[in-house]
Structure 1
Amino acid sequence: MAKTALITGSTSGIGLATAKAFAAKGYNIVFNGLEENGAEIAAGVAQEFGIGYLFSPANMMQPEAIRALAKEALDKFGSVEVLINNAGIQFVAPIEDFPEDKWDAIIAINLTAAFHLTKAILPSMKANKFGRVINISSAHGLIASPFKSAYVAAKHGIIGFTKVLALEGGEHGITANAICPGYVHTPIVDKQIPDQMKAHNMTREEVIEKVFLAEHAIKDFISLDTIAQTILYLADSEAAATITGIAMPLDAGWTAH
């Protein structure tokens, strides 16, 4: 019987690449995203790999919608073996200028949503004595950069949440780990470039070289495949069965400084 992976923010970027990696292994996929063509994207992946799937446009700012997503997934597939809390947004501004609604939204989507969804899925994982939870943090969950107060706070928070989950889940066959990517060329990064150009008075090329990749020892963006395959290893490999509670940097050497 096929296992099921529920991946938030899975109709673009890291989430979509991860969904495809798990689909290639025969997993049922529960897709989630707010893109207008999200349902079509999910259907296309399911058709390409011949898997069972579900698509939900649940808004990660709404706890009721998150709980409904969990119920829909469990009702359809009976269990969710792998939960990947990936949905995220970003906004860049100095603290004194940081809009409060942006702070609230970033904390809600990048941190609180993972709590609500994990809480909803955890009882079924405990009942089945098996679960793999992968939370997508960031290099900014380990270090900080200026102008990203909400994002850095949320990504540090998700690592703390991951560690608590690892301790609570261990006796039930559940592992929990966080992935901490450096800069990946995804839509969320693309949207930051104009803000960074304005904040630093730089061209697009200068922002990529001097802001995004400045701290990477390897002067390149992290590939989507690198992240997807690492998540797959932690969730699907017997060799990773006792890896839990870690925050794994995938950052081209950024946090080695």
Structure 2
Amino acid sequence: MSELSGKTALVTGSVQGIGLEVAKALGGAGARVALHGLASAVEAEAACEAVRAAGAAEAKFFGGDMRDAAAIDAMMAKVKAWGPVDILVNNAGIQHTAPLAEMPRDKWDAILTINLSAAFHTMQSLMPDMAARGFGRVVNIASVHGLVASKDKAPYVAAKFGLVGLSRVAALEYASAGSKESGGVTVNCIAPGWTETAIIQPQIEARAALHGGDRAAGIADLLSEKQPTRRTSDPAEIGALALWLCARVAHNVTGATIPIDGGWTAQ
């Protein structure tokens, strides 16, 4: 597939997990991919090489602290100098769980800044140029927690609900940009449920231990509380949906939040 040949994508938080799989999916369709994250030089180059191996025309790492608006601006200037950005995927995010009364204020500030404000800054930087060219895709990796709440996740839920709202506003503001022929400018969210990333491994291992080390039984037990299929998603599945949303055929899909949650939000 080479539909994205000649396009440049920026994927934040893309040195591992969902972000890396999204970057590989876009690269596999021929895009040049700018990667970002908190990584050593070795880790950054390994991520770039994985994206090149998937088929990317080029892959380059850009550092930037998503807590710092000035640092984001500096990074965006470097990315735009590398190539006009046609596709933006905001995946960078952090999490901290605690009851509302015990949530540290610095955690609230950091989660809102990285999970929500950073997406505002990257979108504000790139979307006017997308509109001027008549083609642009923004895919924000939200969460099932952008659609429903859970206890002990006040800042994360607030940020993800905010990301869904921000995406809808941007979708409306840019809906008339471009044309069917050019592809238009769209803004959408993907809302994953339980996904096989490093962040959930300790929970899976703990549940598996309760079932004699049976990992599949541990996953089913863990997911039974929320996700009716009792199956996790693979990060590559998120990447596949992100890729489709970036295709020209998806020009009329905008302002949507698409769950990949095994029925969680259908309940």
TM-score normalised by the chain length of structure 1: 0.90
Which of 115, 120, 123 is the matching residue for 2:120? Answer: 115
Question: What is aligned with 2:15?
Answer: 11
Question: What is aligned with 1:45?
Answer: 50
Q: Are positions 1:67 and 2:78 aligned together?
A: no
Which of 93, 108, 120 is the matching residue for 1:103? Answer: 108
Question: What is aligned with 1:80?
Answer: 85
User: 1:170-189 CA distances to partner (integer Å, 9 max, x unpaired)?
Assistant: 11121000000101121233
Q: Are positions 1:245 and 2:217 aligned together?
A: no
SS in 1 for 2:228: coil
CA shift, 1:212, in A, is: 4.1
* C-alpha separation in 1, matches of 2:86 and 2:134: 10
* C-alpha separation in 1, matches of 2:166 and 2:141: 12
Structure 1 unpaired stretches of 5+: none
SS in 2 for 1:124: helix
Question: What is aligned with 1:221?
Answer: 232
SS in 2 for 1:176: strand
Question: What is aligned with 1:29?
Answer: 33
The code of the aligned residue for 1:60 comes to M
CA RMSD between the two structures? 2.1
Indicate conservation of the 8 Å contact 2:100/2:152, yes or no: yes
* C-alpha separation in 1, matches of 2:51 and 2:218: 37
User: 1:171-219 CA distances to partner (integer Å, 9 max, x unpaired)?
Assistant: 112100000010112123336x39xx7xxxx899798544444221111
Indicate conservation of the 8 Å contact 2:52/2:59, yes or no: no
The code of the aligned residue for 1:135 comes to N
* C-alpha separation in 1, matches of 2:85 and 2:66: 18
The code of the aligned residue for 2:75 comes to L
- CA 184–46 in structure 1, closer or farther in 2 if over 3 Å, else same: closer
Which of 141, 144, 150 is the matching residue for 2:149? Answer: 144
Structure 2 unpaired stretches of 5+: 178-183
Q: Are positions 1:190 and 2:201 aligned together?
A: yes
Alignment of 1:106-185 (within 5 A): 106-172=111-177, 173-185=184-196
- CA 50–107 in structure 1, closer or farther in 2 if over 3 Å, else same: closer
* C-alpha separation in 1, matches of 2:200 and 2:138: 24
* C-alpha separation in 1, matches of 2:155 and 2:56: 39
Indicate conservation of the 8 Å contact 1:80/1:125, yes or no: yes
**Between the two proteins, what is the percent identity of the paired residues?**
39
Indicate conservation of the 8 Å contact 2:143/2:191, yes or no: yes
Which of 92, 109, 124 is the matching residue for 2:97? Answer: 92
User: 1:6-52 CA distances to partner (integer Å, 9 max, x unpaired)?
Assistant: 00000010000011111111100000010223321233125423522
Indicate conservation of the 8 Å contact 2:35/2:48, yes or no: no
Count of residue pairs the alignment pairs up: 249
SS in 1 for 2:85: coil
Question: What is aligned with 1:55?
Answer: 61
- CA 106–50 in structure 1, closer or farther in 2 if over 3 Å, else same: closer
- Stretch deviating more after TM superposition (154-163 or 165-174): 165-174
* C-alpha separation in 2, matches of 1:166 and 1:70: 21
Which structure dedicates a bigger proportion of its chain to helix?
A: 1
Question: What is aligned with 2:265?
Answer: 255
* C-alpha separation in 2, matches of 1:126 and 1:239: 17
* C-alpha separation in 1, matches of 2:227 and 2:188: 23
Indicate conservation of the 8 Å contact 2:140/2:167, yes or no: yes
TM-score normalised by the chain length of structure 2: 0.87
Indicate conservation of the 8 Å contact 2:32/2:56, yes or no: no
